[in-house]
Amino acid sequence: MSYTTLEVSINDQIAHIQLNRPDALNTMVPAFWRELPEAVRKIDREAAARVIVISSTGKHFSAGMDLAVFTDGGLNQSAELGRKHERLRHMVMELQDSFNALEQCRIPVLAAIQGGCIGGAVDMTTACDCRYITEEGFFTVYETKIGMTADVGTLQRLPKLIPEGLARELAYTGRRMYADEAKACGLVNAIYKDQQSMLDGVMAIAKEMAANSPLAVSGCKEMINYTRDHSTADALRYMSIWQTGMFQPETDMMECFVAKAEKREPQFQELCQLGPAIKE
């Protein structure tokens, strides 16, 4: 499919989604909020790749949400006040759902960040599984600087990725967190000299992930996400249920052992494609 704000390619079981509006600092115009989840869910639904890498073009990863999201007719200014605010609530939830897609898809999503990761871009990258950045890169919860509260996921996810006190400081001040600090607090996994070396490094990591059993990797993502939001006891119980249904030693595990004995790379079946719950 063709997109106006993204370029999507799939090679060697790795899907690469690039933000491609560099002249506009990759701001998140209305089309972006439809296209990103559509692309991610299509890849997931069709089991078209085993890993997704999100990168960008130009000087900055993304300058965040474009104001056109709220000014291009999304709100009926003549509506009764309560109804207008009820519609606004649903608009916010629709925007949130765009990034929920990154968390909900069955495969890992890696973010490769150059330059500024600003406002809504922080919302997006905190919904990814792993983040990587260039030396000059930075994060900023910029919404505070323009008189609003970040509302698309940063305040819900960032405190679970870094110390809460630091997350509060970043949110309250809107200051920039540069690459070294982001690495020190665990927000990013690695720092690269420039964008090309970052892309090379992230693609190598994605390739290593894609070489493993897709079912095993999907299970890891499911369990880590569940554990983040539940008690250890609840997560252990869920793990036992998952393992009872998904653990198939005679397939993927046996393939690993046989491949090792035969001194070759293991070959795994892809995850099943996802169809509609009810067929016509």
Please report, as a single letter, which amino acid is at residue 194.
D
215's enclosing H/E stretch is helix 214-229
Per-residue pLDDT at 78: 77
Which of 74, 70, 73, 88 is closest to 28 using CA atoms?
Answer: 70
Compute the distance between CA of residue 9 and CA of residue 138 in angstroms, rounded to an integer.
Answer: 26
- Domains of the chain in start order, with CATH, are 6-210 (3.90.226.10), 212-280 (1.10.12.10)
pTM, full prediction: 0.94
Phi-psi region of 56 (alpha: psi -120 to 50; beta: other; left: phi over 0): beta
pLDDT of residue 81: 87
Average pLDDT, consecutive stretches of 10 residues, N- to C-terminus, the chain (280 residues): 93 98 95 97 97 97 88 69 88 95 98 98 98 98 95 97 98 98 98 98 98 96 97 97 85 92 95 76
Within 13 Å of residue 16, how many CA atoms lie on the same side as its CB?
A: 18
